[in-house]
Structure 1
Amino acid sequence: MASLAVTPMADNFLVPNATFFVELFAFLLLLFLLGKFIIPPINRAMTARQDAIREQFAELDEAKSEASAAEEEFKAQIADARHEAARIREEAREQGAAIIAEMREQAQAEAARIVEHAHTQIEADRKSAAASLRGEVGTLATTLAGRIVGESLDDEARQSRVVDRFLTELEGAS
């Protein structure tokens, strides 16, 4: 039987061999290549992406503040428009009331003028009727008196005095 002679070096797994050094060299080479050429562009891309996200958040905050300011301005404009509309309505009411008052005054003045004209017309008609009545009554009265008395009262002056006295007594009695 052949005895296997084991050399103490071959059996010791703690002692590195040539394969280990090749693998270590390949690992370190990969590590160097990754650190030099692959990881920096990835880091730059991640940093750029983070900066872009920060900018987007800043723009979003700015847009929110602008939107809030625009909304407040819009609300203020609406409130101003409502106040202006209320003021215009109030002015229109006041103008309408003034126009109504003016028209009422004009109508009252016109009514007073018409009433005054009617009074003047009535007074003129009354005077005309009274004069006409005096003439007719005078004629009838003198004719009647002449028949009663039996003498003629055709004298104008006498006839006028008799008629005036008769009408004065008639007015005093009523």
Structure 2
Amino acid sequence: MIPTSVVAAEEVGFPSGFPLLPHPVEMIVGLIAFGIMYWLYKSKVVPRMEALYAERTAAIEGGMEQAEEAQAQAHAALQQYEAQLHEARTEANTIREEARAEGALIVTELREKAQAEAARITESAQRQIEAERQQALVSLRSEVGTLSTTLAGRIVGESLEDEVRQKGTIDRFLAELESGNVRPEKVGASASVGEPSQAQQTELDLGNGDS
């Protein structure tokens, strides 16, 4: 092909110093073919490449946007979780304080109830003890009165069960004491051995005479 081009260049009149120049027809055909190829490339290949590039760019940008959105959602979820955790801790502390206060109140109420119950039991026991003491005093006074009456009856030689006789006997006994007719050793002997006194013996004799 080179020799043909050289011959053609010489025939046309090109200088002999440019042996590698193509034939003008080849240049025209090459230009037409290049134009056709350029048109095909520009109309077919470039749009598809641009579409693929745009699609790839959109996919990348969409992925980045989705990643940023997911990151924002994760950050929001983390903040919400931290807020809920703080709220739960605050509520737990509040419940703990309320339970502590309620427990202290219950303990105070139970202590007050126990103290009131103890005071009531103590007061009731004191009243019962006082009542029993009064009852014992009454019983003791009754027994002491009975023993005193019996002892005085033995001393004066008469029974003091009857109130009238009791008063008269006591008066007579006091009169005898004033006159000195009743001696202590006589009273002690009569009270200790149960022997009848002179007044009792006189009363017994009068009773036998009446019968």
The question of a shared fold, defined as TM-score above 0.5 by the shorter chain, is answered with yes
Shift of 1:47: 1.6
Superposition pairs for residues 1-174 of structure 1, below 5 Å? 9=10, 12-17=18-23, 18-147=25-154, 149-152=155-158, 154=160, 156=163
The structure number with the bigger radius of gyration is 2
Shift of 1:23: 3.9
The farther-off stretch of 18-27 and 74-83 is 18-27
RMSD between superposed Cα atoms in Å? 2.5
Residue 206 of structure 2 is matched in structure 1 by none
Residue 183 of structure 2 is matched in structure 1 by none
TM-score, length-scaled by structure 1: 0.75
The 8 Å contact of residues 146 and 152 in structure 1, kept in 2 or not, is answered as yes
Query: How many Å separate the matches in 1 of 2:19 and 2:140?
Result: 166
Gaps of 5+ in 2: 1-5, 171-211
Q: Secondary structure at the match of 1:15?
A: coil
Gaps of 5+ in 1: 1-5, 162-174
Query: How many Å separate the matches in 2 of 1:13 and 1:111?
Result: 137
What percentage of aligned pairs have identical amino acids? 44
Query: How many Å separate the matches in 1 of 2:105 and 2:112?
Result: 10
The superposition leaves residues 11-37 of structure 1 with CA deviations (integer Å, 9 ceiling, x where unpaired) of 753332244543443233222211121
Query: How many Å separate the matches in 2 of 1:141 and 1:74?
Result: 97
User: How many residues are matched?
Assistant: 153
Shift of 1:145: 4.1
Q: For residue 35 of structure 1, what is the amino acid of its counterpart?
A: K
The superposition leaves residues 25-77 of structure 1 with CA deviations (integer Å, 9 ceiling, x where unpaired) of 32332222111211122112202221231122122112211211121111111
Shift of 1:87: 0.6
The farther-off stretch of 51-60 and 130-139 is 51-60
Residue 171 of structure 1 is matched in structure 2 by none
The 8 Å contact of residues 9 and 15 in structure 1, kept in 2 or not, is answered as no
